């Protein structure tokens, strides 16, 4: 088992120690054990949880939804886990649809005769805006 103190877990995950502590208090993380002196020791599962939270937050999933996923994982509640993941995926699908609509409107604006000459937007997902040619 890889053992992590809060500071090592924070360093390896890119989160601050205060965030790790906060996520522990909120139930998103659980220490694997505590030392006799009261220090929390985390395992590699906690690091993976933090990576899940980070990926979810970057994707725009609210912390409350990620909290529901983590709590379902903690409690081994597969039914609630499936519902929570479905809700997060639904939110992501809505965001993708909104981005697609934005790209269509932007493309239509770029075709107008009054539009400034612009480079074509990148095909990569996440490239929202075309840039002006200089």
What is residue 127's predicted lDDT score, i.e. its pLDDT? Answer: 43
Q: Find the distance separating the first CA and the last CA of the chain, reported in whole Å.
A: 55
What is residue 102's predicted lDDT score, i.e. its pLDDT? Answer: 95
Q: Is the dihedral of CA 119, 124, 125, 127 positive or negative?
A: negative
Local confidence pLDDT in tens for the 134 residues of the chain: 689 999 999 999 999 999 999 999 999 999 999 999 999 999 999 999 999 999 999 998 999 999 999 999 999 999 999 999 999 999 999 999 999 999 999 999 888 888 777 666 555 544 444 333 33
What is residue 114's predicted lDDT score, i.e. its pLDDT? Answer: 84
What is residue 58's predicted lDDT score, i.e. its pLDDT? Answer: 93
- Please name each of the domains of the chain with its CATH number: 1-58 (1.10.1660.10), 60-134 (no CATH)
């Amino acid at each position: 088992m890889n053992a992590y103190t809060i500071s090592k877990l924070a360093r390896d995950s890119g989160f601050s120690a205060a965030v790790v502590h906060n996520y522990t208090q909120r139930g998103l993380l659980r220490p694997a054990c505590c030392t006799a002196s009261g220090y929390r020791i985390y395992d590699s599962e906690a690091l993976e949880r933090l990576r899940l939270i980070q990926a979810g937050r970057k994707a725009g999933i609210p912390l409350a939804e990620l909290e529901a996923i983590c709590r379902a994982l903690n409690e081994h509640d597969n039914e609630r886990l499936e519902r929570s993941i479905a809700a997060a995926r639904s939110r992501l699908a809505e965001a993708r649809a909104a981005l697609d609509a934005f790209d269509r409107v932007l493309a239509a604006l770029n075709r107008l005769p009054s539009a400034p000459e612009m480079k074509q937007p990148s095909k990569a997902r996440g490239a929202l805006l075309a840039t002006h040619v200089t």
